Amino acid sequence: MVGARWEAVVKLIPENGVVIITDENLYNIYGQLFPAFPVLKINPGEDSKQLKVIEKLAKKLLDKGIDRSGFILAIGGGVVCDVAGFLASVYMRGIRCGYVSTTLLSQVDASTGGKNGVNLGVVKNVIGNIRQPEFVICDTSMLQTLSQDEYLSGLAELIKTGVIGDESIIEILENRFPDVMKRDRGILTDLVARSVRFKASVVSEDEKETGKRRILNFGHTFGHAVELHQSVKHGFAIASGMELATIFSLKKGYIRKDESDRIITLLKKYSLLNDHDIPAEDISKLILHDKKKAGEDIHFVFTEGTGKATVRKIPVGEVVDFYREFKNR
């Protein structure tokens, strides 16, 4: 539900047996407006995506008498939705859940598609499953309270969607830069709706990520490596990953130079690209942890120009060699 006011969630949840999961930051801003149900708060950030957090939350659900008829309502960004969705999928072998998505990153990516996961050490989302929530509300008015870095981080995922599937998103981001930066609600609602429609069409065709859904990982092979090594926000890391994947696509002959320049110029326009210099031995280790790896190969997502992407199975060593080459330019 893109564009709906988040308060309308009261019409979508049961009258009892509901527990709300949120983080401290969201609670401080919106907590007084939450529906009158018990609230479980987690710490903001990736550190909450751990099995020990899931275990503590499950114990609290038991203490509150939540049974198999219970309902978990997540109100927050990607971390909150991941934690709440994973908890709902395993508690009592699965209970119902729904999301109020409060960040741009979550609205365009994390809350759509049914992926739920927690981290194992530094390896992202390696423990998880795919289970769809009953609803997702994306109220773009909530984006006004985001920090600038958090907002820009979400714009990176919007750019990704435009590169792999909906060129109109790229055109809007190119032509309406001042309005996007002012967080115009109408434009953001339009952009989020376009992104959700595209991702939903891909997921409906390939829910378990055995084929077409892999294109949603554009920029993520290098991006996750940058995120883990540099400790930057997800969107900024994925932006760096998209820059690398775009240059890699140019080298492999999938796109022309003007198409490559268009993508990288947009990433720079929104100040999304940061320096990164991952040592050769570290980039190898980080990519070997990538969930898209299959033996000695990896399913790498290339761009064929804005609105088009392709997945090719290539040796992991080729990916590592390209990064070394990129850093030695």
Rg (CA), the chain: 20
Residue 47: Cβ within 10 Å count? 11
Side-by-side strand order, sheet with 293-294? 293-294, 297-303, 309-315
Tokens of 192: 């989020």
Contacts of 62 (CB under 8 A, 6+ apart): none
**What is the amino acid identity at position 290?**
D
Kindly give the interhelix angle for 316-327 and 280-288, rounded to the nearest 10 degrees.
150
Q: In angstroms, rounded to a whole number, what is the distance separating the alpha carbons of residues 7 and 18?
A: 15
Q: Which residues contact 238 (CB under 8 A, 6 or more apart)?
A: 156, 157, 160, 219, 220, 223, 227
Instruction: Indicate the pairing of strand 96-101 with strand 136-138.
Output: parallel
- DSSP string across 274-326: ------HHHHHHHHHT-TTEETTEEEEEEESSTT-EEEEEEEHHHHHHHHHHH
Q: Are strands 96-101 and 71-76 parallel, antiparallel or unpaired?
A: parallel
Q: Which residues contact 190 (CB under 8 A, 6 or more apart)?
A: 172
Break the chain down into helix, strand, coil percent, rounded to 5: 55, 15, 25
Contact call for residues 41 and 23 (beta carbons, < 8 A) = yes
Report the catalytic residues: 93, 115, 157, 199, 209, 213, 217, 220, 224, 234
